[in-house]
Structure 1
Amino acid sequence: MARLDQAPARRLRSAAALGLVGALAVAGCSGLDNTAALRAAPTPTSELSSAPPAQPPPSLTRDKVDAAVDQLDEVVQDAMRRTGVPGVAVGVVHDDEVLYLKGFGERKAGAEGKVGADTVFQLASVSKPVASTVVAAEVGGKTVGWDDPVVKYSPGFTLKDPWVTDHVTLADLFSHRSGLPDHAGDLLEDLGYDRSYILEHLRYEPLAPFRASYAYTNFGLTEAAVAVARAADTSWEKLSEDKLYGPLGMDSTSSTFADYEKAENKAVAHVKQGDTWKAAYVRDAEAQSPAGGASSTVRDMAKWLRLQLGNGKFDGKQVVDGEALAETHLPHIVSQPPPAPAGRTGFYGLGWNVSYDDQGRLKLGHSGAFELGAATNVTLLPSENLGIVVLTNGSPVGVPESISSTFLDTAQTGGPTVDWLAFLGPLLQQSAEGERSETDYAKPPKDATPAKEDDAYTGTYANDYYGPMTVSVEGDELIMQLGPKKQRFRLTHYDGDTFSYSTTGENAVGLSGVTFTVDAEGRAEKVRVENLDANKLGTFTRQ
């Protein structure tokens, strides 16, 4: 959830924006606290995290929770009516009982097939607290420790700073405090690179102060999870099945994209085009499976909620060590500072957003989103033994967060304290609009300088991080090719030696710039791709 970007060109939607939304909706205001860098010696999680305040006795009676559950149908239908999101599924757990499992709407807009409790959805970033549960099982089994250096299990893992490489731990990567920049590696995934390539190339990313700065990184967390699987001599996907999905009977849950794809009863991704929601894209998040590639149903997720609220127990059996699981619920880094003197600080734990309310009660939550068509949320009040999970098959507009927040408000106060959908939806839209280039490449200047001849730009360009780029002429168009599959992008002249292209994938931001640096002989020697240059890695050099 709580993720705010430090670089204007970096993507916010699907992560940082949802972080802010989740913090406001579920965990109170949260943010980033720039404490001094801890560079002198490794700091174990036991020193960085502290036990939460003693939890008050439960204050929510079953009658209050039941009253909120009774209103859930109306809450969900209202959110769907106001946004048009095609499908929603909701599960509620209280006192180790599943009180509500229900689906609404369509698995695919305009096609047969209704959403139900057994419809498989992509979890997006709700995969993260699921992943930390799997790791907690291995920590409890003494296979690994949260404070173990990643290089202990992944000897080839390298970051830009050798000291950080040697000291960064599993907990550092699961709490986004490694110093890796926001969403490091995500643009490589958009270009079609696989997990191994992306993890190997994190070494080029610039680092912020270690353990003193928070930045949300899907592939940092993925590296930690893969290291744990390596320690257990298996794959992440198999480890998740063996340690969590199998023992809980989460028979429709998987960490492989292929399992989601072959599920007959699945909700497909939708994006809004004009006034209509369409199943236009397929989001394959296999490369970042631990961070965003799991899929599940609300029936299965309700079992996981019971495990979380039961301190690792499920149906009377201790499936995950309680102490190892409790560590995931503790604050490990400040993720968002209070916006005002009386505001609340937001924290990130190990795969969880962590906060405390006015009564000192622990609140846990996480949102997930694919701009290509999924939005999810899970929220827990452990002291009340209460949890809710909301899965949707539409790109993020605030629906899962507003449903969760309205339900919790209703359980505690008898009704919502604010129109959460009206409050949260515009925040997401505002953040999304803020990610686009400041230059309107659709409107070249009237006095634009003509481009040079095509052969000034054509050729092959090298980049250690993104790999090679080729620029060629096809017909009367310049074509840029990037990535292992040689994705093709048409270059449209804007002004002088600057062109534009339409970005694609999960991190698309509309039109972005491509600027060639031409030498004295009129031949391009370098080219900078604006959308790829947020971390100053987007310049390619002619070979």
Structure 2
Amino acid sequence: MKIKTLFFIVICAGMLSKSYAQNIRLDSLDFFIDTLMDDFEVTGLSIGIVQNDSIIYSKGFGLTEIGKTQKVDNQTLFGIGSISKSFTALTLGILVDEGKITWDDRVKDYLPYFELYDPYVTENFTIRDLLTHRSGLKDVSGGTLWYHSDYSRVEIIKRLKYLEPVSGFREKPAYQNVMFVVASEIVKEVSGMPWDDFLKSRVFNKLAMNNSTSLSKDREATSNLAQPHIWNAAYKKVAIKQENGDNLGPGGFIYSSAKDMNSYMRLLLNDGVFKNDTIVSKDVVDELFKPQTLFQNSGPPFGNEFSSYGFGWWLTPWNGHKIIEHSGGIDGMSAQLFMVKDLDIGVVILTNVSKEPASFLLKAKLLELIFNDKSFDFYDRGIEYRKGLIKKLKKAAANEVRPKESYPSLALSNYAGSYNDKMYGDINISLSNNKLELSFSHTPLFKGRLIHWQFDTFKIDWYDIRVPDGFLTFNFNSQHEVTGLKLDQEDLLDVDFEELEIIRIKN
């Protein structure tokens, strides 16, 4: 009797869940998106919603580039940022299905050149560790290795040994990009083909994701491509050229469309099956979505003390449901993807603006509609946040006053020379026409004029619009010889300049 009663309750609960999901009201969504784009100066946006293995909403709004006429549609390519990590986990899962690897294999067994700061960690680091952010490194450690740099994926991996941990191995999570680069090279080593080719043949082609790519040459050859937008010095939206990004493809540089991502969500919600073709097993999908480490990404209602990280996904239990999600951000692009698996619904939101809460607020609106819960209504706070942020930035710029006049302690020629960070490589300071210029040898973007500020501190006037001005202070020994320098620079995307220990190279 108890078994029959329990069975009846479970069946009813399932029926209620399905009807709950089927009653989503989307009739006012177009109006909401139009208002959102006006309020937050969103240039272009594309959104896809799937439910019960069907596409129920797939549209584009706005323009691919400000000042141009091309409109966004559901096939326009956008950068999905760190949502790319879930694709890397999936490619590994395909190899797990084939019995070629296991999640707990040692990285060193596939990549002998893989080396971290601590020899013990190097020897015991597993594929599972790569995907769960528990290396012991700082958040977004190693960003200067890949950001706009000419370093290849293998070169990035070989330089990880210089990154010093800030916590114990597997002690607590800290978000990483570079470990997913390592993961992609395992796919290459095991499959015998570059990760990008494996991704295309085993995932994109199987899902008819015909426009999606992890390679910049394919992206730039696409006519229906959204251009990234950032604020200029006057806090107006301007288009910028997207960086190459190939070296971080597995961790953040897949480009896709709402149409293509709809297929991806259908695959995952349908336990690895797409149009009756099994791409990956249910066991692998379950492992991707299984909590691997406690990792609270945000506060309530989007996160709680039970929030965790799976393989490329944040997982949060919410009122009997599990929200599976990841966001993505690169220069001038932001994205959101979330799924509620028991309701069989998934949403992807793609925009070509950054520093705006627009994609987050649209995500919140969809959660509000799905769950009929006003606790997800953050719209007014989003508007106030944006106003406050711009006001704060403008005030800081207006109040920046050069200190009382002083002079460098040495002639400018004494500061010029070659410098080095053992992790990054060479950094050069040159003197021309009595002006100093800073340049990073592997990152053309990191180049700017040094303007004397006070004593031995110089302001860095970076030439590229996406890099905010910073400061550079020279260090000396007891003979007052320049021994190195320290950057006081605002973190940029996922670049932590404090990791650099820059010393002067003696001629």
Q: TM-score, normalised by structure 1?
A: 0.82
Match among 176, 184, 196 for residue 141 of structure 2: 184
Residue 244 and residue 401 in structure 1: after superposition, are their counterparts in 2 closer, same or farther (change >3 A)? same
Residue 66 and residue 88 in structure 1: after superposition, are their counterparts in 2 closer, same or farther (change >3 A)? farther
- Cα distance in 2 for residues equivalent to 1:432 and 1:159: 40
> Counterpart in 2 of 1:350?
311
> Counterpart in 1 of 2:453?
494
**In structure 2, what residue type is equivalent to 1:83?**
F
> Counterpart in 2 of 1:399?
358
Residue 533 and residue 271 in structure 1: after superposition, are their counterparts in 2 closer, same or farther (change >3 A)? closer
Do the aligned residues in 2 keep the contact of 1:355 with 1:363 (CA within 8 Å)?
Answer: yes
Match among 209, 214, 228 for residue 269 of structure 1: 228
- Cα distance in 1 for residues equivalent to 2:472 and 2:241: 25
Do the aligned residues in 1 keep the contact of 2:294 with 2:306 (CA within 8 Å)?
Answer: yes
> Counterpart in 1 of 2:184?
225
Residue 424 and residue 233 in structure 1: after superposition, are their counterparts in 2 closer, same or farther (change >3 A)? farther
**In structure 1, what residue type is equivalent to 2:354?**
S
Matches within 5 A, 1:445-484: 445-484=403-442
> Counterpart in 1 of 2:328?
368
Q: Is structure 2 residue 70 aligned with structure 1 residue 113?
A: yes
Alpha-carbon distance, 1:430 to partner? 8.0
Alpha-carbon distance, 1:449 to partner? 4.6
Do the aligned residues in 1 keep the contact of 2:229 with 2:237 (CA within 8 Å)?
Answer: yes
Q: Is structure 2 residue 367 aligned with structure 1 residue 408?
A: yes
- Cα distance in 2 for residues equivalent to 1:159 and 1:387: 37
Do the aligned residues in 2 keep the contact of 1:347 with 1:354 (CA within 8 Å)?
Answer: yes
Q: Is structure 2 residue 93 aligned with structure 1 residue 170?
A: no
Residue 322 and residue 397 in structure 1: after superposition, are their counterparts in 2 closer, same or farther (change >3 A)? same
Matches within 5 A, 1:28-67: 57=14, 59-61=16-18, 65=22, 67=24
Alpha-carbon distance, 1:351 to partner? 0.3
- Cα distance in 2 for residues equivalent to 1:323 and 1:260: 33
Matches within 5 A, 1:287-436: 287-336=247-296, 343-359=304-320, 361-370=321-330, 372-413=331-372, 416-424=374-382
Matches within 5 A, 1:22-171: 57=14, 59-61=16-18, 65=22, 67-171=24-128
Do the aligned residues in 2 keep the contact of 1:524 with 1:542 (CA within 8 Å)?
Answer: no
Between the aligned residues of both structures, percent identity stands at 24
- Cα distance in 2 for residues equivalent to 1:133 and 1:432: 39
SS at match of 1:301: helix
Alpha-carbon distance, 1:397 to partner? 1.2
Do the aligned residues in 1 keep the contact of 2:449 with 2:463 (CA within 8 Å)?
Answer: no
Do the aligned residues in 2 keep the contact of 1:129 with 1:352 (CA within 8 Å)?
Answer: yes
Deviates more, 1:57-66 or 1:301-310: 57-66
Do the aligned residues in 1 keep the contact of 2:364 with 2:376 (CA within 8 Å)?
Answer: no
Alpha-carbon distance, 1:188 to partner? 2.4
**In structure 1, what residue type is equivalent to 2:442?**
P
Structure 1: runs of 5+ lacking an equivalent:
1-53
SS at match of 1:57: helix
Task: Provide, for residues 425-473 of structure 1, a one-character-per-residue CA deviation record: whole Å limited to 9, x for no partner.
Answer: 666898999999x999953311535442112212222321121222221
Q: Is structure 2 residue 497 aligned with structure 1 residue 539?
A: no
Residue 125 and residue 338 in structure 1: after superposition, are their counterparts in 2 closer, same or farther (change >3 A)? closer
SS at match of 1:248: coil
Alpha-carbon distance, 1:512 to partner? 2.0
Alpha-carbon distance, 1:202 to partner? 1.1
Match among 517, 521, 525 for residue 483 of structure 2: 525
SS at match of 1:481: strand
Do the aligned residues in 1 keep the contact of 2:50 with 2:265 (CA within 8 Å)?
Answer: yes
Alpha-carbon distance, 1:424 to partner? 4.8
Structure 2: runs of 5+ lacking an equivalent:
1-9, 490-494
**In structure 2, what residue type is equivalent to 1:524?**
V
Do the aligned residues in 1 keep the contact of 2:460 with 2:470 (CA within 8 Å)?
Answer: yes
**In structure 2, what residue type is equivalent to 1:537?**
L
- Cα distance in 1 for residues equivalent to 2:184 and 2:215: 14
> Counterpart in 2 of 1:443?
401
Task: Provide, for residues 239-298 of structure 1, a one-character-per-residue CA deviation record: whole Å limited to 9, x for no partner.
Answer: 101211011111111111111111001111111333532212323221110111101111
Do the aligned residues in 2 keep the contact of 1:190 with 1:504 (CA within 8 Å)?
Answer: no
- Cα distance in 1 for residues equivalent to 2:360 and 2:31: 15
SS at match of 2:336: strand
Larger Rg: 2
What is the RMSD of the two structures over their aligned residues, measured on CA atoms?
A: 3.0
What number of residue pairs does the alignment pair up?
A: 484
> Counterpart in 2 of 1:14?
none
Do the aligned residues in 1 keep the contact of 2:272 with 2:281 (CA within 8 Å)?
Answer: yes
- Cα distance in 2 for residues equivalent to 1:137 and 1:432: 45
Do the aligned residues in 2 keep the contact of 1:281 with 1:373 (CA within 8 Å)?
Answer: no
SS at match of 2:219: helix
- Cα distance in 2 for residues equivalent to 1:367 and 1:283: 19
SS at match of 2:334: strand
Alpha-carbon distance, 1:374 to partner? 0.3
